[in-house]
Structure 1
Amino acid sequence: MKKAFVLALSLACAGFAAQAQTAAVKPANAQVKPAGPQIQFDEMKYDFGTAKQGEVVKHVFKFKNVGTQPLVISNIGVSCGCTTPEWTKEPVMPGKTGSITANFNTAGKMGMQNKVLTVESNSAAGNAMVSVVGEVKENAAPTVSAEKTESAAAGEKTKMKMDDSKMKAKKKS
């Protein structure tokens, strides 16, 4: 009687163990959708290369809601007042896409730039960050070439004045 009981108990334990192992095995290619809304960007950083000082660099970051509930962007914080964002205001349904447009005004900026946009939303992963990077170079100054003329050699003075678009010369005798 004891042998039969031990045998039945052993078979029952083996059956439960086998069932637990097969339930835990998942296919390697199975994708699990995150619970709640989830934002996924096509790109996290945009490198604009080189821009002239005073230009406005504009870039559109596209994203997809890969979660299971509507995604709502509540705000986008910027690292500098020179960057203004525009974004999809309505809820982005699961599987659908939205966009964020970053407008970076290079006026008053020089050298390497890294402007970060912090995307505040109801995403299960929390806030996300995207950035616009590149180098701002000064506008090329107009070149001034002076040639020695007979009047300059004779002691006349020439006064040159430059504005943004033209150069004026006045001659004094």
Structure 2
Amino acid sequence: MRKITILSAVLVCIAFISCKENATAKIDAANLETAKERDAKISLGSAIMEFDTMEYDFGTIVEGEIIDGAFKVTNKGKTDLLITAVRPSCGCTTPDWTKDPIKPGETGEIKFSFNSNGRVGKQHKSITITSNAEKITETVRLTGTVTAKS
């Protein structure tokens, strides 16, 4: 048993010694340059999304009404904010948003239209925003109650 242990230890040592590949030789110069550029941008600071409110309460409406509203988003960061995607939780909500970069200190909008047709009862809908901000995704909410048509 002792011979097997010693033999195993010798084989492990040989395996480590034979792996003399130089890891620094494997680094691709183009990847290194890309990483340097990315790190330089990060050191400048990133965009930060700040909303006027995280929840929009549309109150009580009658089934079939369409509610239009907007969330204001301000860039509190140091670089341009670019909203890349806005996804509602269901097809009853249609979003539209500022497609141009939002400069630091400036404000953009995420507009929405909620169609209450066929949606009777308490409503909790969400809109997920994806951007280049420090926090990549943010979620805002729509709430309210839809009463049946008389």
Fold in common (TM above 0.5) = yes
1:77 aligns with 2:83: no
1:15-54 aligned within 5 A: 35-54=45-64
- Amino acid aligned to 1:69: T
Q: State the match for 2:126 in structure 1.
A: 116
1:79 positional shift: 0.6
Give the helix-richer structure, 1 or 2. Answer: 2
**How far apart, in 2, do the equivalents of 1:111 and 1:71 lie?**
36
1:64-103 aligned within 5 A: 64-103=74-113
- SS of residue matched to 2:129: strand
Which residue among 111, 134, 137 is the counterpart of 1:127? Answer: 137
Larger radius of gyration: 1
1:58 positional shift: 1.0
Q: State the match for 1:136 in structure 2.
A: 146
Q: What RMSD in Å do the two structures reach over aligned CA positions?
A: 1.1
1:143-154 aligned within 5 A: none
Cα deviation code 1:131-162 (max 9, x no counterpart)? 1100000111xxxxxxxxxxxxxxxxxxxxxx
- Amino acid aligned to 1:131: R
Q: Percent same amino acid among aligned pairs?
A: 41
Relative contact order, CA 8 A, sep 6+: which one is greater?
A: 2
- Amino acid aligned to 2:59: G
* Number of residue pairs the alignment of both structures matches: 107
**How far apart, in 1, do the equivalents of 2:45 and 2:145 lie?**
40
TM-score, normalised via structure 2 length: 0.70
1:40 positional shift: 0.2
Gapped regions of structure 1 (runs ≥ 5) = 1-33, 141-173
Gapped regions of structure 2 (runs ≥ 5) = 1-43
- SS of residue matched to 1:67: coil
Q: State the match for 1:146 in structure 2.
A: none
